[in-house]
Amino acid sequence: MGVRAGKPVKGFSVLLGKVMHARLFPKKNRFTYGIYYIALNLSDLDNAPIPRNRFAPLSFYDKDHGACDGSDLNKWARDLLESYGVTKADGDITLVCMPRVLGYVFNPVSFWLCRDQQGDIRAVICEVHNTFGERHSYLCVAEDQSVIDNETFIKTEKLFHVSPFLERAGQYGFRFHVTRDHFAAMIDYYDASGKKQLVTSLIGNLVPMNKENLRHAFWKYPLVTFKAITLIHWQAVKIISKGIKYIPKPLQNKDKNSASANLKKV
């Protein structure tokens, strides 16, 4: 059973790709695994070709993102953009995230692609969840709100505890390369001294979202959300076995949103 063109619905895709993590020091650790995400046009969610807010083998729930209370996701994103004076991202917003599989989901990171009226990406909201049930969103915008392309490098301060083996300090470096048929997000972590310690990526191909391609993804990577959380804990065991120090979780910062250094709240 392969990927089929089927009948696509405009603004909705399935991302078939691979996740890679590479820890560079004090001990090296690297893993790669296959995965799939879904890409949803937030201005047309009512027409999404995937079950929404109800149980199904594959489904999408509004309450898994944004304010996590089931409220309007498109409005949440636009309110965040407005709060930082991001005016050029006035077009469609696409949410790239993992679906619920048999009712279960864990999204380590989701990407909100915020475009202008010409379809160019002007901002990316990186919504991060940890295994402690917390979340934080990093708003990434280039200097002067210029178009984000494959040469754009955006840094933000790390303000959220994710891995219990990395300090809540330092910076993230974000790069994105998105075309009609391809998606790539690269996130590097730099420690408090500025040394690159972790390299991560999600890279894959975008295919039209339809019943055939959703079914293909479901069977190609069975129980993918369960797989993701299981692999996170398995890698933790491997890291502990290498003698890397465990860092207790600090209290989460009150503000669950932050932005790249060139932005200030208005």
pLDDT digits (tens), the chain, 266 positions: 354 444 445 689 999 999 999 999 999 999 999 999 999 999 999 999 999 999 999 999 999 999 999 999 999 999 999 999 999 999 999 999 999 999 999 999 999 999 999 999 999 999 999 999 999 999 999 999 999 999 999 999 999 999 999 999 999 999 999 999 999 999 999 999 999 999 999 999 999 999 999 999 999 999 999 988 998 888 989 998 999 989 999 999 999 999 998 999 99
- The one-letter amino acid code at 175 reads R
| Residues in CB range of 86: below 8 A, 6 or more apart | 114, 122, 123, 139, 141, 145, 263
133 inside domain: yes
3 inside domain: no
264 inside domain: no
50 inside domain: yes
205 inside domain: yes
> How many C-beta atoms lie closer than 10 Å to residue 29's C-beta?
16
Q: Kindly report whether the peptide bond that precedes residue 26 is cis, defined as omega within 30 degrees of 0.
A: yes
Distance CA(227)–CA(233), nearest Å, equals: 10
266 inside domain: no
- The one-letter amino acid code at 75 reads K
201 inside domain: yes
pTM of the model: 0.94
184: containing domain: 12-259
The position carrying tokens 């636009």 is 78
Characterize 30-69 residue by residue with b for buried, 16 or more Cβ atoms within 10 angstroms of its Cβ, and e for exposed.
eeeeebbbbbbbbeebeebbbbeeeeeebbbbbebbbebe
Q: How far is CA 72 from CA 37, 64, 65, 68, 104, in A?
A: 21, 12, 10, 10, 21
Closest to 114 measured CA to CA, from 166, 44, 42: 42
Instruction: Please count the structural domains in the chain.
Output: 1
7 inside domain: no
**E-only strand ranges, 148-243:** 154-157, 171-178, 182-190, 196-208
Question: For the chain, percent helix, then strand, then coil, each to nearest 5?
Answer: 20, 35, 45
Distance CA(51)–CA(46), nearest Å, equals: 10
Q: How far is CA 139 from CA 122, 126, 194, 205, in A?
A: 11, 6, 21, 24
